[in-house]
Amino acid sequence: MVRFGLIGIVATAIHYSLLFGLVHGADVEPIVATTIGYAVSLVFSYILNRRFTFHVAGPVAASFAKFAVIYGVGLLLNAWIVDSLVVDDSVLAAQLVASTVVLVWNYLGARFVAFR
């Protein structure tokens, strides 16, 4: 769980950097920006969790497909929570709530389904 958490911190930093860079630097809508950031962090998270957290050596396709579905649901949860909670400039607060909920979802899915 510690490695998952550490990788998650870096993936979250990637996600948030893209989110805020796109929202404040490129005037992209928050739901679009958070989706882009999440997608990029998903690939990063898969590669490192596969290798360092769950030590999977089998074929990539099967575990990535499961991981992508789990994280895809997490993406929808993330986007829905951010879209539901953003009021004026409250993007950070909304994203913190979304990240907390999605962290739990993603860990359970990765641990018990994708890298089982």
pLDDT greater than 80 at residue 1:
no
pLDDT at 110: 92
Distance from CA of residue 65 to its chain's centroid? 15
Residue pLDDT, tens place only, 8-27: 899 989 998 999 999 999 99
| Strands (E) located in the chain | none
pLDDT at 5: 86
Q: Are 46 and 67 in contact (CB under 8 A)?
A: yes
User: Is the whole model's pTM more than 0.85, yes or no?
Assistant: no
